[in-house]
Structure 1
Amino acid sequence: MARTPRERHEPIDLQHAEVVLAGTQDLLPVLRVAAVRAGVDAARLRVVGVDDLPDPAETGNAELAVIAIRRPGDDPAFHRAHEAAETISPLLAPHAVRIVVTVSGATRLAPKLERTLTTEVLHQMGAAAAPTGLKRPFRNLRMRLGLAALQTAGVRVFRITIGH
């Protein structure tokens, strides 16, 4: 059975791209620092709390959205992240890359873990921009160990697609 072709995203130039950061209030400062460290222009950065709904008339054309949700206990953070992605969808371009980070309630994001998380988000962006599934960026041993450390600490990173 052949897979249907997917429309792939062009590589994102972080210095010129509009970026939306959404998440729970305790994770937003961490996201902002990681975005600036990754090269995002702070003037093109839009930060939205998950509990603060954006103005319905407000629109945007952001190419990237990073959504960070802290999951207290057994709360299904993926569903909350999906709702947050739908809420901020007027701020995004139609084929924007949406990356979701879920963090366990007990996890404290130390600076080393933040750097590893930034590396993983950048890897996910590269994978989203790969022209085909066969041309995905290679995850070397150091990145694999970093991903394992994130998962051990209770942090999950994945991409979602809504509506397309």
Structure 2
Amino acid sequence: MKTLKISTFILLAACFVQASRTSPDPTTFVASTPCDMIPRTMLSIPANADCEFIKWNLALRRDPRNQNPTFYKLSYTYGMTQPGTTGFRNGGTSLTKEGNWISRKDATNKETYQLNSNTPETSLSFARLDDNLLHLLDPQGRLMVGHAGWSYTLNRK
């Protein structure tokens, strides 16, 4: 009987540990946004570059042990639209940014994610709307407003 109790305890403990582990895979968000001055500045896109829209691919990693933010990788392509397609004329220009990110909650319990928090001029901040949606914030922390063609909302992939 004692062996059965110990075996049951070990089995339950193993199930609990397995259930509490999360995948080390990043959470990925994607979007197509307008290429106006605020994202140009944040992404270091030259002001004179031909840029109509930006395609984003943001991968956020968390520590699987405690779910604290650790590392991000932002791949993005910008340029002019290729008529009749969802792509770029001449393939666009592709770049990558990587670094650490942080998660903060304000007094209203609104959660924001901040990339490159140690370099304010190129820092990117997103409001976490839910598990599947992030929305780009302007430098003052307000939601960016898109237009009929594109928004500033990133969708979970």
TM above 0.5, yes or no, is no
When the two structures are superposed, what TM-score results if normalisation uses the length of structure 1? 0.24
Q: Computing the radius of gyration over CA atoms, which structure comes out larger, 1 or 2?
A: 2
Higher strand share: 2
Larger RCO, structures 1/2 (Cα 8 Å, 6+ apart): 1
Higher helix share: 1
When the two structures are superposed, what TM-score results if normalisation uses the length of structure 2? 0.25
